[in-house]
Structure 1
Amino acid sequence: MLRNYYETDYIHTMRDLLERSEKKYGLDYAYKELDPERNLHSYTFVQLREDVDALGTSLLERALQGKHFAIVGESSYSYVVSYMAVSMGLGVIVPLDKELSKEELHKLICKSDAEVLLYSDLLSDDVEEMRGICPEVHTFINISMYGTKKESLSILDLFQEGRSLINSGNLRYKTLPIDRNALSAILFTSGTTGVNKGVMLSHKNILTVIHSAFSMFRFSDVSFSVLPINHTYEFNLHVLGCLYGGITLCFNDSIKHVKDNLKIFQPGMSLMVPMIVESLYKNIWKEAEKNNLTKHLQYGIWFSNLIRKVGIDRRKLFFKPIAESLGGNLQTIVCGGAPLRPDIVKGFEDIGISVYNGYGITECAPLIATNCTMKNIAGSVGFVIPDNLVRIADTDEDGIGEIQVQGDNVMMGYYKDPVSTRKTFTADGWFKTGDLGYLDRKGALYITGREKNLIILANGKNVHPEELEEYILDHLAYVKEVVVYAPLSPEGHEVMIMAEAYVEDQFLIEKGVDEVKKILKEDISKLNHKLSVYKRIHDVELRECEFEKTSTKKIKRYCIEREALSHVKYHH
């Protein structure tokens, strides 16, 4: 259990956050980004405050106070300005995933009661159609700052309009009252179960996790943003966190430019999800193999670890080429979204990069626990943040039970869904995460699986599919993705455990489909011998394509379960 925390300032509203950052960091750079022509643009904390006030003033004078603002776009400075302008007492912001179809966008716009749509050039071609299918939206604003497309209302026009109003003495927006307990944002869950719920967060919910994060970490002065900005993890902890900490946040413009952008921005840290972290780690070893340097790297790690035991750290020197491929300064990766394999954490630590795995959920704004600068335990998701409480409910014989949370970061409820809200809280007011885990004697939290994913066999035995998936990935290097599940029998019982695997492309090319199927079945059979009888995988199928995922790279399990129901196969 952590007993000492870093001293941090409490902030109460988004305006407090913005004013504090402007006063404390002034002309330092808050955000950097590349335009479509890949020209670099940088914005200071002072400019951010001025642009937020200008946009907010213009929107207020258009009689938009109290409205719900949907926002769709890629990670950008203008996205941050738009989000902040709405959040400063003007209205409620509703971030939506840019990967959604027009039909899905319409559904969530309706569900959130949005009347204003803030969008980037990405959606520009669809705006006319959106006007037709979203009659409830009366105001459309293009927030792209570098686009060539001319819209009836653009963020640049609103900046100019707002500045003129402020210069003429209009201070209405700057003095808007803000209730820290009032609804600030509606965030839709990413839908791994196929259902999107609107999570209601207040200023208090959001700012609580920023305070907690900085109580547990000391960060670099430059960070790199690669995750979708509409998610709570990326926006609350990364975008707003960097604003709080005076950290320059650099936006990645495309997944295909990650390597180049790391070299341009040279960040010291980044927030990622396990799939990206694991991909980076695999690429390090692929590059070593391609250049016949695998043994050289293995020896370097062995020797480096040996001399570190006597206090000599030469990782910066030994692994300089790897560091340069990641921009040259990357020292810290904070990883959330799912538990991260301990060998990946150790692997990065061996070459001089600290990876801190944490745990959160949208309903908790999102942070619940994290490893941190003071203590990092591989395999765990760290320690409960200082601003909330965690308990493990309904534990089994191994001490595993549902993780339940109480604290100022816990949501107000689901938007217009009192039934789901009631179901997700206990009678004594604890939020039920639906995740299974346990706390060890040191107070570190471990995630063992998702309650909804738990396989309950006909014989009453419980199996955590995530445990088996990790076991397969740890032992079969050629398996890129795997999902373990149990299809239902006609009687409604989960009778046996199945697996679907997607393998590395190169392995498939070298061996061929039939040979890979044979190898996969043989290897699963060998692994089964090391498992308890009830945990054994009865059949494995080779998948032709990657699993369908959410925008934060989580596999949509309900899609696999739906496929399984449509063609159940039993093998005895």
Structure 2
Amino acid sequence: MESIYIKFKEVAVKHQSRPIVYWRKNRHWHHIHYKDLLLLVDYLAENLSAQGIKQGDRVSILSENRPEWLISDLAINKLGAVSVPIHTTANQPLIEYILNDSASGFLFVSEACLIKYESFLVLLKERKPDLKIALFDDSYVLKTDWQKNYPSIILYSSLIKKTSVDDPVVNELASIVYTSGTTGEPKGVMLSNKNFIHDALASTERIPVMPSDKFLSFLPLSHVLERTAGSYIPILSGASIAYAESIKNLPENLREVKPTIIISVPRIFEKMQEKIFAKIQLKGHWAKKLFFWSLRQKPGTPGKRIADILIYRKIRKLFGGHLRFAMSGGACINVKVLKFFKNVGVKIAEGYGLTETSPVSCTNSLENNKIGTVGPAINGVMVKIDSDKEILIKGENLMMGYWQKEDKTREAINEDGWLKTGDLGFLDYEGYLTVIGRKKDIIVTNNGKNIFPERIESLLNLSTAINQSLIVGHKKDSLSALIVPDLEAISQKYSGVKVDLQKLIEDEIVKVNEQLMAHEVIKKFHLLDRPFTIENEELTPTLKIRRHHIEAKYGGVIDGLYR
């Protein structure tokens, strides 16, 4: 049986002198080579073993993306233990739930998370005296009373000291990944070594990754999309990873790192397009005319080549100027966004999957990229459509089941081994999958019309005046919208001019309504004074709307729209 660690070691020996990870500290980028990171993994594994960690034990990681996250994950894997990632945006009850449900006896924590959750971690240590906590950063602990008050706290630096190195232990179960979910109690998805390895290697068969590639990692490693596509794919390909400081610093980090590959979610691309168009609106008449002229040029024409020199290259430089391709997953991306970036020379391959499928199940290739689809199934994976249009998946990437929830596993996977995804879609004659929406998110109006709100929200969110939106109207006569205006973009566009915000958004909705069928038209809307956030449990870590949570939160506002 193979493990992620064993596959990684094979690559590390082959590419030992190549950089594997980059990170920014004190305004400078640092890096470490494959051979040195392998040593740190081996030392950490042996020192964790000395702490009592053995095959099958669960070890949690609460940290932002950084080299120590990867090193810890691989060391846990080498011991045959099970890694349990926790989102850095998780609330305290969720963190405690995950630690208790997984029975994690060891927890890695970064300095940022220690500061954020300090009082909670103190309380947690009192409630769970046997829980061992290891801190990635020494400086904060040494300058505070943490170690004096809690001598059982372990410094990460003490766990990577040179020691003898033993052979790896292989365990079937590699990780328990808790789905934040858009509804209900979190479920621990059990993913095996085989799941991760197959998914990573089959994905690179569809879109090859080379040792010369450099990934910029900014989605949370606690999410399985970044874990597989942004971590395991590069390290099993001999490529390198640069860890972004934060989403906020993403534009700067893109320019500095100059990645060849990024893994992202639709909202990032949508916001980038919005900002490009917002900047164009601030330009003079001729600059605007030139920009929109450039978008009309046909491939292979002299006009296209001129447009590339004058316009497109500047847009590509926003991604660092060396991007080979970007991968989009986590949700469906607006076709208009894909066409815009394709037009300016930014290749985006859209894929599809779930945490339960490790996650990649389908993806477009760069050569045969059908915009509007998520591509055909990768090797070793089968996709079919059920009688009610639900997407079913079966294959080597399918989870082992839900941790300690056999009833939920039986509900999710039918007797023939097909996972019921909860998504609706269809396959074309070439096997390319189109996803049309979540089954549970369908809005059924009083006149019996079925409406997929994601498509309408995606159109609204393309407006530079709109930051976020939520469509409502289940069992109502018409649709309404909760709108979060983009006040920053509006103030830039109308600098020094008094704006009637209500009228401005109303005009934007009229434009969207012109693209919709009669039963999809938005009749009313309400402006919200703050954005949907992960911290307020309104978004998932990959920026998907937690629809039912928001509807419950703003129930009074929504009712008011139908009075």
Normalised to the residue count of structure 1, the TM-score between the two structures is 0.87
Q: Which moved more, 1:189-198 or 1:504-513?
A: 504-513
* TM superposition shift of 1:461: 2.7
1:156 is aligned to 157
1:486 is aligned to 473
Q: Of 308, 318, 331, which residue of structure 2 is paired with 1:315?
A: 308
* TM superposition shift of 1:90: 3.3
2:480 is aligned to 498
For 1:197 and 1:71, locate their aligned partners in 2 and report how far apart those are by CA, in whole Å. Answer: 17
Secondary structure of the 1:83 match is: helix
2:51 is aligned to 62
For 1:145 and 1:403, locate their aligned partners in 2 and report how far apart those are by CA, in whole Å. Answer: 48
For 1:434 and 1:412, locate their aligned partners in 2 and report how far apart those are by CA, in whole Å. Answer: 18
Secondary structure of the 2:154 match is: coil
Q: Of 333, 358, 361, which residue of structure 2 is paired with 1:340?
A: 333
2:99 is aligned to 109
For 2:260 and 2:127, locate their aligned partners in 1 and report how far apart those are by CA, in whole Å. Answer: 43
Deviations 1:525-550 (A, max 9, x none): 67557644433334222222222322
* TM superposition shift of 1:244: 1.0
1:72 is aligned to 62
For 2:269 and 2:508, locate their aligned partners in 1 and report how far apart those are by CA, in whole Å. Answer: 26
Taking a change above 3 Å as real, the CA distance of residues 200 and 63 of structure 1, as seen in their structure-2 partners, is same
* TM superposition shift of 1:277: 1.2
1:328 is aligned to 321
* TM superposition shift of 1:27: 0.8
Aligned residue type for 2:202: S
Taking a change above 3 Å as real, the CA distance of residues 27 and 308 of structure 1, as seen in their structure-2 partners, is farther
For 1:116 and 1:108, locate their aligned partners in 2 and report how far apart those are by CA, in whole Å. Answer: 12
Aligned residue type for 1:460: G
1:296 is aligned to 290
Q: Is 2:349 aligned against 1:350?
A: no
Aligned residue type for 1:569: G
Q: Which runs of 5+ in 1 are unaligned?
A: 1-10, 396-400, 488-492
1:6 is aligned to none
Taking a change above 3 Å as real, the CA distance of residues 427 and 513 of structure 1, as seen in their structure-2 partners, is farther
For 2:435 and 2:364, locate their aligned partners in 1 and report how far apart those are by CA, in whole Å. Answer: 13
Q: Of 522, 543, 549, which residue of structure 1 is paired with 2:528?
A: 543
Q: Of 73, 76, 87, which residue of structure 1 is paired with 2:77?
A: 87
1:370 is aligned to 363
Secondary structure of the 1:384 match is: coil
2:424 is aligned to 436
Secondary structure of the 2:236 match is: helix
For 2:198 and 2:562, locate their aligned partners in 1 and report how far apart those are by CA, in whole Å. Answer: 51
Matching of residues 255-274 of structure 1 within 5 Å: 255-274=247-266
* TM superposition shift of 1:294: 2.7
* TM superposition shift of 1:472: 3.7
Checking the alignment, whether the CA contact within 8 Å between 1:56 and 1:90 is kept in structure 2 is no
* TM superposition shift of 1:202: 0.7
2:33 is aligned to 44
For 1:519 and 1:484, locate their aligned partners in 2 and report how far apart those are by CA, in whole Å. Answer: 18
Q: Of 454, 457, 464, which residue of structure 2 is paired with 1:466?
A: 454
Taking a change above 3 Å as real, the CA distance of residues 121 and 473 of structure 1, as seen in their structure-2 partners, is closer
* TM superposition shift of 1:513: 10
Matching of residues 117-266 of structure 1 within 5 Å: 117-125=107-115, 126=118, 129-132=122-125, 134-135=127-128, 137-144=130-137, 149=142, 152-160=153-161, 163-166=162-165, 171=166, 174-176=167-169, 178-179=170-171, 182-219=172-209, 221-266=213-258
For 1:175 and 1:140, locate their aligned partners in 2 and report how far apart those are by CA, in whole Å. Answer: 23
Number of aligned residues = 538
For 2:179 and 2:260, locate their aligned partners in 1 and report how far apart those are by CA, in whole Å. Answer: 30
Secondary structure of the 1:255 match is: coil
Secondary structure of the 1:211 match is: helix
Taking a change above 3 Å as real, the CA distance of residues 40 and 529 of structure 1, as seen in their structure-2 partners, is closer
Checking the alignment, whether the CA contact within 8 Å between 1:106 and 1:134 is kept in structure 2 is no
Matching of residues 500-519 of structure 1 within 5 Å: 500-506=482-488, 509=491, 510=494, 515-519=500-504
Checking the alignment, whether the CA contact within 8 Å between 1:78 and 1:144 is kept in structure 2 is no
Secondary structure of the 1:51 match is: helix
Q: Which moved more, 1:459-468 or 1:233-242?
A: 459-468
Secondary structure of the 2:370 match is: coil
Q: Of 556, 560, 563, which residue of structure 2 is paired with 1:569?
A: 560
1:450 is aligned to 438
Taking a change above 3 Å as real, the CA distance of residues 294 and 240 of structure 1, as seen in their structure-2 partners, is same
* TM superposition shift of 1:360: 1.3
For 2:413 and 2:49, locate their aligned partners in 1 and report how far apart those are by CA, in whole Å. Answer: 36
Aligned residue type for 1:364: T
Checking the alignment, whether the CA contact within 8 Å between 2:480 and 2:561 is kept in structure 1 is no
Taking a change above 3 Å as real, the CA distance of residues 146 and 392 of structure 1, as seen in their structure-2 partners, is farther
Deviations 1:405-437 (A, max 9, x none): 001111111111122111112232210110111
2:89 is aligned to 99
Taking a change above 3 Å as real, the CA distance of residues 433 and 40 of structure 1, as seen in their structure-2 partners, is same
For 1:54 and 1:248, locate their aligned partners in 2 and report how far apart those are by CA, in whole Å. Answer: 21
Taking a change above 3 Å as real, the CA distance of residues 136 and 237 of structure 1, as seen in their structure-2 partners, is farther
For 1:165 and 1:201, locate their aligned partners in 2 and report how far apart those are by CA, in whole Å. Answer: 30
Aligned residue type for 1:77: P
Secondary structure of the 2:526 match is: strand
2:535 is aligned to none
* TM superposition shift of 1:245: 1.2
1:3 is aligned to none
Q: Which moved more, 1:360-369 or 1:133-142?
A: 133-142
Taking a change above 3 Å as real, the CA distance of residues 147 and 324 of structure 1, as seen in their structure-2 partners, is farther
Q: Which moved more, 1:25-34 or 1:461-470?
A: 461-470
Matching of residues 510-529 of structure 1 within 5 Å: 510=494, 515-521=500-506, 524=509, 528=513
Aligned residue type for 1:138: L
Deviations 1:363-389 (A, max 9, x none): 111111111223111111112111210
Taking a change above 3 Å as real, the CA distance of residues 44 and 130 of structure 1, as seen in their structure-2 partners, is farther
Taking a change above 3 Å as real, the CA distance of residues 352 and 526 of structure 1, as seen in their structure-2 partners, is closer
For 2:216 and 2:489, locate their aligned partners in 1 and report how far apart those are by CA, in whole Å. Answer: 32
Question: % of aligned pairs identical?
Answer: 25
Secondary structure of the 1:386 match is: coil
Secondary structure of the 1:249 match is: strand
Secondary structure of the 1:165 match is: coil
Deviations 1:293-336 (A, max 9, x none): 332223334446351799x7983675333333432212311111
For 2:402 and 2:476, locate their aligned partners in 1 and report how far apart those are by CA, in whole Å. Answer: 31
Checking the alignment, whether the CA contact within 8 Å between 1:102 and 1:130 is kept in structure 2 is no
Secondary structure of the 2:17 match is: coil
